[in-house]
Each structure stands twice: as C-alpha cells, then as structure tokens.
A and B are shown apart, each in its own frame.
Chain A
Amino acid sequence: EAQVTQNPRYLITVTGKKLTVTCSQNMNHEYMSWYRQDPGLGLRQIYYSMNVEVTDKGDVPEGYKVSRKEKRNFPLILESPSPNQTSLYFCASSFYGELFFGEGSRLTVL
C-alpha cells in the first residue's frame, strides 16, 4: 500500500528537549516536504527536498532542521523546541505536484 508514515503521531515534550519526527514514504518519490497546520493559518511549508541530499527552506523554517540521506526518509528535527512550535505537522511526498500526506504528528511543547 502506497503511504507516507510519520512517527510519533502524538508527542508532549518540554522546551529545549531535542526531538525528531520521522517520515518515510514507499512510493519512490523524489520530492518530500514538511508542513505545519495552525488554526487560521492553513498549511505552511517548513522545509522541502527535491531529491537525496537536496533540501531547501520553505515559508517557516526557523527552529527546524531536516536531512535527506536516502530517498524514502525525511526526518524533521527540532533541536531546541519552543512552545510556539506546538502544532500539527504533516509530512508529504509528491509525484508531479500531487502531494501524498502522512496522517500527521501532533506536537505539544510545554
């Protein structure tokens, strides 16, 4: 089954404690991306990757890092999370513009 898998789905953490949200896709897509969804703001892109070892900033990259060492994985790293990073995060992969989304990771930073 074609899918994008994110983990964890839910996480409560504290300010400053590094965390990683993993994302994996099994569709051999070259393009992957991370979004956050906040009330009234819709989906905002954090980082994206056109291919292995190629990453670029989206609209709201501050406080986040990513890596793309292999095609299927695109982890999102919060080195020092802050409360304003409390949000619902979506990973997605794409084939010619049609994005396939993961189920989301709800992160709460206290």
Chain B
Amino acid sequence: DQQVKQNSPSLSVQEGRISILNCDYTNSMFDYFLWYKKYPAEGPTFLISISSIKDKNEDGRFTVFLNKSAKHLSLHIVPSQPGDSAVYFCAALTQGGSEKLVFGKGTKLTVNP
C-alpha cells in the first residue's frame, strides 16, 4: 500500500513558466513533509519542507503548499530554470515516531530552454 503517491512520473515545462509537482498521501499520522531533488549520478538532496501546522512554506523560487483536508501537497517552482531539471521526490514522516521517511516514486521534471 503506497502511502505517498506522486501520480505524474514526468512533467515538462518551458523555462520561465511555473512548474507544479503534486503529491498525495494516505496516512493521516504524517505531520512533516519534505521534497528532495535528485540529479543523475548523485544522491537526493533536501529542497524544502513543511510542517502540518502550516499550509505554505516559501524559499526563494520554491514554495510548498499543504492541504491537510485533501491530504495533498504541491511544490511550485517559479520561474522554472533548465537547471531545475531533475527527479523530485515527495516524502513524509511522523515526527516523534521512528523518523522513517516514506517516499513517493518521484516525478521527473524537464525544463526546456
């Protein structure tokens, strides 16, 4: 049973436009959510996170939105740049629990010049 779902395996956008990556979760115990970015031949790197007590967190061009009632979060990248082309993983955990991160399968973002 997949607790964290990224239903779009890939996404293609034009440079300068907005990229929206979506993530859904099923476990209502999750209270901390993270996005990781992965380039080929490198390990994933932390991008941005959000706690369940917030509905938005912004860091430069990256904003994560959380809709708890819908069990949905999204990552917005504005404006998108070719260097943003990577695989993005959504992850969730229950704070105070085992610290076990549950990952989605990832979405491959391609930003075209």
For A104, give its contact among B36, B42, B89, B106 (CB under 8 Å): B42
Nearest CB of chain B from residue A3's CB, rounded to whole Å: 10
- Do the beta carbons of B45 and A50 come within 8 Å of each other? no
A31 nearest CB neighbor, chain B only: B99
Chain A 24-38 per-residue mask, 1 if CB under 8 angstroms from chain B, else 0 = 000000010101000
Contacts of A35 in B (CB 8 A): 103
- Do the beta carbons of B105 and A42 come within 8 Å of each other? yes
- Do the beta carbons of A94 and B42 come within 8 Å of each other? no
Alpha-carbon distance A43/B36, docked complex (angstroms): 11
Contacts of B43 in A (CB 8 A): 4, 90, 92, 101-104
For chain A residues 78-110, which have a beta carbon within 8 Å of chain B?
Answer: 90, 92, 94, 96-104
Contacts of B91 in A (CB 8 A): 99
| A interface majority secondary structure | strand
Nearest CB of chain A from residue B106's CB, rounded to whole Å: 5
Alpha-carbon distance A79/B7, docked complex (angstroms): 35
B44 nearest CB neighbor, chain A only: A101
- Do the beta carbons of A94 and B44 come within 8 Å of each other? no
Q: Closest 3 CB pairs between A and B?
A: A101-B43, A42-B105, A43-B103
Q: 20 interchain pairs (CB within 8 A)?
A: A4-B43, A35-B103, A40-B9, A41-B105, A42-B104, A42-B105, A44-B103, A45-B100, A90-B43, A92-B43, A94-B99, A97-B93, A98-B34, A98-B46, A99-B34, A99-B101, A101-B43, A101-B44, A104-B42, A104-B43
